[in-house]
A and B are shown apart, each in its own frame.
Chain A
Amino acid sequence: MAEILKLTYGIFPKTEKLRVRIGRWQRKILSAKELESLVQEETALFQQLARENGISSFTDPLFNWFDIFRPISLVTGGIELGPLTRYGETNTFYRLPEIRKPLTLEGNPAEYRELSENPPLPLYHVDQGEDQLAFLPGPVTFFHFCGNIAGNSFESFSENLGKLYSELLSKFRFRKFLVFESVPLAGGNLGPFYKSVDPEKTILATTGNLNIKSLESAGKKFHSVATDADKENIKAAAAFSSIPGLSLIDAHNTKLEDPKALTARIDGLGKELGIHKFYVTHSDYLDFLPRQIAEKKLQLIGKVGE
């Protein structure tokens, strides 16, 4: 039986208590400091939930991120918030980051700071556990979903973003990072970005068929590449990372997967492809689900391989 590591990442759905408090903060009934204190408490509860369920690696649940670009946009010079925009093929909206100038980090994102259109910083809530990852929207995704007012090429933008992230990560103590690409890599040159963000410390969570040219361009093997679990993808992920990842849990459907069936499937794939260790994760971040279903999905990830 292959060894199975369990991974969760990205914005996790909030409890009703937190939603209500954020509403109060928006109406100025609750102070930003009081909100931040609750975000810390809820984050600690999430970390406990993840560890109790045997999740090997997880990012901050990003309870203070209004969307996957917003807080980074707000601490970065050169980006302005544009209109509310539909996020891909979902019924979720984000404020378009409009790239107007070269990106520069403004202030220390690890410290408490009040923001005008997002709950307060810090960017990540870290308790020094080795199982914690930094969450970074990847260059392909950021470029795809931004308003490129400055007219950057993908290469120049991603080089700039990589440097920004490198500086940003220096303010925290993460051993590994999760780079989230919610759109397929599609042949883009990842080299300029991964000059500054070490692929060997990176779990690349993406979607669709893996593009070999893009993976090669990173220059080094990734720690992990996780995507849709078909054989060709798994072979590519195994070739370009130390531990291939399988995105087996549907983040866009409430139907609960059967951990026994998933275990049998992974076992079969491991034997057939000669792979002895996998990450198992979800197909997208879990904020598209109601909280109670997201918790059940987390629990069932924990049961895979048990």
Chain B
Amino acid sequence: MAEQLFITQEIGSFRKPDYLSKKFHTIEGQKEFYDLARKATVETIDLFEKSGLDNLGVGGEMFRWEMYEHLASNVGGLEFYGMVRSFDNRYYKKGSVVSQITRKNPFHVDELQYVLSQTKGKLKVPITGPYTMMDWSFNEYYRDRRELANAYADAINQEIRELKKVWEKARGSEILEIQIDEPAATTHPDEMDIVTESVNRSFEGISGIEPTIHVCYSVDYRYLYNTLHDLKVKGLNLEYANRDKYSLGTSIEQRPGYADLKAFNEVNQTLGQKKFIGLGVTDVHVDFVEPVGLIKDRIEAAVKLVEDPKLLRINPDCGLRTRSRQIGFDKLKNMVDAVRDLKKSY
């Protein structure tokens, strides 16, 4: 029973080694790209294993440059006019939907095939969600936002079906974990029905998977919690550490970043089948490596609020790609060490 407690997991991305990141765009799709992406994947899986992570994700998403751009470049119907700013001097390619969305190429099949060939470890495949793809695209073609989100959902559904085939070949009947990344999920509170509809549509008709959703930097997670009756996911992997303090303590007052888990718990208690929380315990936007004691306090505070420790998995707030590989590793290592310490008391 104890080994099921506090499964540690990565959210998705991890900093690429320079040999890959510096050449990524110039060699993408060529043999050299695949050689380097594979090399980086092996090194990252090794690093994750050394940190002690239970779930290795897909080895830090070495085959993908960025969550929106990767999927957008593999669907038909988009035009790119240039980069759009996200924050400070960070930019992403935001596409304009000018015709029907189609799944032009597989999004993550090559990546999953390779990761499966390199490890027998627990994996989780992150896929950018339909609502976020819609919200981060300019819509010049579809009648409204719902129609566009559902068009992306159909393309994602095709992708998951193909991933499932690849998975079954390697792992048989083992459950495939699919994490739909929806950072935009709560940005338009009056569109939570579109989030729910399009995320559910992404999984529709596919069995043998564990669907989860990752959301981060929401102004209010309660919008998400309130969808839990309808949202067909097993768990929510969320960012909390960014909004928390560095001082120690396990009370709600001492852990303001985690206070709204109370609202999660209120909804969760009303569900026939409870959802788990993937608890963000390290902030991916700062180099400060959270000490083991602080992470333990965050988890303990969360346990009090969700009432059942089995409903917690432990992860960074988001992908660690904005930190150096060393800092990313240090953060993961402390996270794992905190969990190991805590497990002794449960």
B-binding residues in A (CB < 8 A): 13-14, 16, 19, 22-23, 26, 66-67, 83-86, 88-94, 252-255, 287-293
Pairwise interchain contact A83-B136, C-beta atoms closer than 8 A: no
Which of A83, A86, A291 sits near B82, CB closer than 8 Å? A291
Pairwise interchain contact B135-A254, C-beta atoms closer than 8 A: no
List, in ascending order, chain B residues with CB within 8 A of A293's CB.
81-82
CB within 8 Å of A: which of B65-103?
Answer: 81-89, 91-92, 94, 96
Is B162 in the interface zone, CB < 8 Å from A? no
Whole-angstrom CA separation of A255 from B219 in the bound complex: 29
Whole-angstrom CA separation of A16 from B219 in the bound complex: 31
Whole-angstrom CA separation of A13 from B88 in the bound complex: 12
Q: A13: nearest residue on chain B (CB-CB)?
A: B85
Q: A83-B242, A85-B217, A293-B81 are in contact. Are A253 and B139 (CB under 8 A)?
A: yes
Is B140 in the interface zone, CB < 8 Å from A? yes
The 8 A CB mask of B125-144 against A (1 = contact, 0 = none) is 00000000001101110000
Which of A85, A288, A292 sits near B81, CB closer than 8 Å? A292
List, in ascending order, chain B residues with CB within 8 A of A253's CB.
138-140
Q: A93-B217, A292-B81 are in contact. Are A254 and B87 (CB under 8 A)?
A: no
Q: Tell me which of B83, B87, B92, B140 has the highest count of chain A C-beta atoms within 10 A of its own C-beta.
A: B87
Q: B82: nearest residue on chain A (CB-CB)?
A: A290
Q: Apart from A66-B88, A84-B242, A255-B140, what 5 extra A-B contacts exist at CB < 8 Å? A: A13-B85, A86-B217, A86-B219, A254-B138, A289-B84
A-binding residues in B (CB < 8 A): 81-89, 91-92, 94, 96, 135-136, 138-140, 183-184, 187-188, 217-219, 242-243, 285
Pairwise interchain contact A290-B83, C-beta atoms closer than 8 A: yes
> Closest CB-CB distance, B101 to chain A, in whole Å?
16
Pairwise interchain contact B89-A91, C-beta atoms closer than 8 A: no
Pairwise interchain contact B84-A288, C-beta atoms closer than 8 A: yes
Whole-angstrom CA separation of A90 from B323 in the bound complex: 24
Pairwise interchain contact A91-B184, C-beta atoms closer than 8 A: yes
> Closest CB-CB distance, B100 to chain A, in whole Å?
16
> Closest CB-CB distance, B309 to chain A, in whole Å?
28
Whole-angstrom CA separation of A139 from B41 in the bound complex: 49
Pairwise interchain contact B87-A92, C-beta atoms closer than 8 A: yes
Give the 4 A-B CB pairs with smallest separation, nearest first. Answer: A290-B82, A93-B87, A254-B138, A254-B96
Q: A255: nearest residue on chain B (CB-CB)?
A: B140
List, in ascending order, chain A residues with CB within 8 A of B135's CB.
91
Pairwise interchain contact B187-A86, C-beta atoms closer than 8 A: yes
List, in ascending order, chain B residues with CB within 8 A of A289's CB.
84
Q: B84: nearest residue on chain A (CB-CB)?
A: A290
Which of B85, B138, B243 sits near A83, CB closer than 8 Å? B243
Pairwise interchain contact B187-A254, C-beta atoms closer than 8 A: no
Q: Tell me which of A23, A90, A94, A254 has the highest count of chain B C-beta atoms within 10 A of its own C-beta.
A: A254
List, in ascending order, chain A residues with CB within 8 A of B217's CB.
84-86, 93
Pairwise interchain contact A92-B86, C-beta atoms closer than 8 A: yes
List, in ascending order, chain A residues with CB within 8 A of B94's CB.
290
Q: A289: nearest residue on chain B (CB-CB)?
A: B84
List, in ascending order, chain B residues with CB within 8 A of A13's CB.
82, 84-85
List, in ascending order, chain B residues with CB within 8 A of A291's CB.
82-83
Pairwise interchain contact B187-A93, C-beta atoms closer than 8 A: no
Q: B219: nearest residue on chain A (CB-CB)?
A: A86
Pairwise interchain contact A290-B187, C-beta atoms closer than 8 A: no
Which of B83, B96, B188, B242 sits near A89, CB closer than 8 Å? B188
> Closest CB-CB distance, B304 to chain A, in whole Å?
24
Pairwise interchain contact A255-B138, C-beta atoms closer than 8 A: yes
Whole-angstrom CA separation of A88 from B140 in the bound complex: 22
Whole-angstrom CA separation of A22 from B85 in the bound complex: 13
Q: A23: nearest residue on chain B (CB-CB)?
A: B89
Whole-angstrom CA separation of A297 from B282 in the bound complex: 42
Pairwise interchain contact A26-B81, C-beta atoms closer than 8 A: no
Q: A83-B243, A86-B217, A290-B94 are in contact. Are A254 and B184 (CB under 8 A)?
A: no
Q: A118: nearest residue on chain B (CB-CB)?
A: B88
> Closest CB-CB distance, B227 to chain A, in whole Å?
17
Pairwise interchain contact A19-B243, C-beta atoms closer than 8 A: no
Whole-angstrom CA separation of A186 from B232 in the bound complex: 37
Whole-angstrom CA separation of A91 from B218 in the bound complex: 11
Pairwise interchain contact A84-B87, C-beta atoms closer than 8 A: yes
Q: A253: nearest residue on chain B (CB-CB)?
A: B138
Pairwise interchain contact A90-B187, C-beta atoms closer than 8 A: yes
Pairwise interchain contact B89-A19, C-beta atoms closer than 8 A: yes
List, in ascending order, chain B residues with CB within 8 A of A83's CB.
242-243, 285
